[in-house]
Amino acid sequence: AQRVTQPEKLLSVFKGAPVELKCNYSYSGSPELFWYVQYSRQRLQLLLRHISRESIKGFTADLNKGETSFHLKKPFAQEEDSAMYYCALSGRGGGSNYKLTFGKGTLLTVNP
Amino acid sequence: DVKVTQSSRYLVKRTGEKVFLECVQDMDHENMFWYRQDPGLGLRLIYFSYDVKMKEKGDIPEGYSVSREKKERFSLILESASTNQTSMYLCASRFLSTEAFFGQGTRLTVV
């Protein structure tokens, strides 16, 4: 069974402070990991995926297979980063492997 | 731009009614998903489909069924709506293992 765990429901930081949103996963094969974000009154959208190794809006995430983690980081939080963040996992190889499982989400609030 | 469109933004139904939630995508994606989103519980997968007429149960399929007769359309059916199915329902589609695109959501209230 595949599982995604986000241990923090709520995270509150001040503007300019570093942010780390934690994500741990359980999967028997080689996973695809994603971070999705939902801003207020907007639809869920992709923030980044591990395979692209990009930095989006200053966020980065590194897949650590040894610790089965995919934590999201940003060195200097901005007020516009306030949103709900979801970590997600999928398999590869076709058919039912493309099942996409989400964690429970972390609500990030960046205070002025 | 990929578009995933859910037929209703808000629905109010009575207990025991049969409810249909429709989702259409315009990018020829094989994979489509139905989730419910509840505060503190995140997105929980109800069903997903990886091809026409192919479906697989997610984590919370009880009380729901799905239909995928055409590639672009994935329907979620509540056979007999109950108050504990009051929730936000999200549809998504994706090509293979790439980014998933989401609909705007349907907020269903069962009274």
Mean pLDDT (whole number) for B8-28: 96
> Smallest Cα–Cα separation from B89: which of B98, B74, B76?
B76
Interface contact flag, B94 A98, Cβ < 8 Å: yes
Interface contact flag, A99 B48, Cβ < 8 Å: yes
Convert the pLDDT of each residue in A55-106 to its tens digit.
Answer: 889 999 988 989 999 999 999 999 999 999 999 999 888 888 889 999 999 9
Please check whether residue A86 touches B, CB under 8 A.
yes
Residue A108: pLDDT over 80: yes
Q: Which residues of A touch B97 (CB under 8 A)?
A: 32, 90-92, 97-98
Interface contact flag, A98 B58, Cβ < 8 Å: no
Interface contact flag, A43 B97, Cβ < 8 Å: no
B51 vs chain A: nearest CA distance in angstroms? Answer: 8
Dist. CA A96–CA A61, nearest whole Å: 26
Dist. CA B32–CA B76, nearest whole Å: 11
Least confident of A12-16, B87-91, B96-100: B96-100
Tokens 């999967």 belong to residue: A27
Mean pLDDT (whole number) for B64-78: 96
Interface contact flag, A6 B50, Cβ < 8 Å: no
Q: Which residues of A touch B68 (CB under 8 A)?
A: none
Confidence of residue B98 (pLDDT cuts 50, 70, 90): confident
Please give the sequence-ordered ranges of beta strands (E in DSSP) within B19-79, or none if there are none.
19-25, 31-38, 42-51, 54-57, 64-67, 73-78
Interface contact flag, A95 B54, Cβ < 8 Å: yes
Q: In what order do the strands lie in the sheet with A60-61?
A: A19-21, A72-74, A60-61
**In terms of pLDDT, which residue wins out, A50 or B64?**
B64
* Residues paired with residue A109 on neighbouring β-strands, in sequence order: A12
Closest-CA residue in chain B for A32? B97
Residue B2: pLDDT over 80: no
